Each structure stands twice: as C-alpha cells, then as structure tokens.
Amino acid sequence: MQNIAFVTSNRGKAIEVKDIFRRYGIPLKVYYCETVEIQSEDLAEIAIHRAIQAYSIYREPLFVEDAGLFIKQGLLVLSSLRQQLNSCDKLFFQGIFW
C-alpha cells in the first residue's frame, strides 16, 4: 500500500482525518502547513490550488480538505468535502489504496 499524507494547518481537522483512516487500517502522515487560499466559490478549485502548493513542498502523494460557507441570494449554503469523507465506506478506501 502506498503511503499518503494529509496537509492542513488545522490540528482538529488532522485528528479527525487520522481517526477516519485509522478505522480502516490505512497509514497516514500529517503535515502541518499554511497554504495560500485563493478566493473562489468553487471548492474544487480551492482544494486543487492548495494541493498543488502542498505537493510543491512535500513532493509525495497527498491530499487536502476544504470546506466553504457561501451566502447566495439570502440563502445559506454549506459545502464540505468532510461530509463526503464521513459517508465513505471501506470499499471506497479499498478502491483508492488497494
């Protein structure tokens, strides 16, 4: 199994992600690093930009997580990749790592 790293500046987020990976027996390294967050309403664009920055520093397989709070036409919309991570099952992880 290839090692993967999680890059964040948020210790609480790191603990949460490490716990998720630990439940499935997947080793995870955590790097604490501040990255420049571009201003965009597209979470994928923000995350990709941050992942490229992190990769330029660490040069190894890694991922970042981002969440956004957007207000559009008086409505509050919460987007979160974390919600998707929490809903993943072991088959998802197996598909990525095995």
Which pLDDT tens digit goes with each residue over 29-48? 999 998 888 888 788 888 89
pTM of the model: 0.69
Side chain identity, residue 21: F
- Which residues lie across from 62 on neighbouring strands? 5
CATH number for the domain spanning 65: value is 3.90.950.10
- Domain range for 72: 4-97
* Greatest Cα-to-Cα distance within the chain, rounded to the nearest angstrom: 46
Quote the number of domains for the chain. 1
**Rounded CA separation 9/52 (Å):** 15
For residues 29 and 5, is the Cβ–Cβ distance under 8 A? yes
Angle CA 17–18–21, to nearest 5: 90
Segment 80-98, tens digit of pLDDT: 544 555 554 444 444 454 4
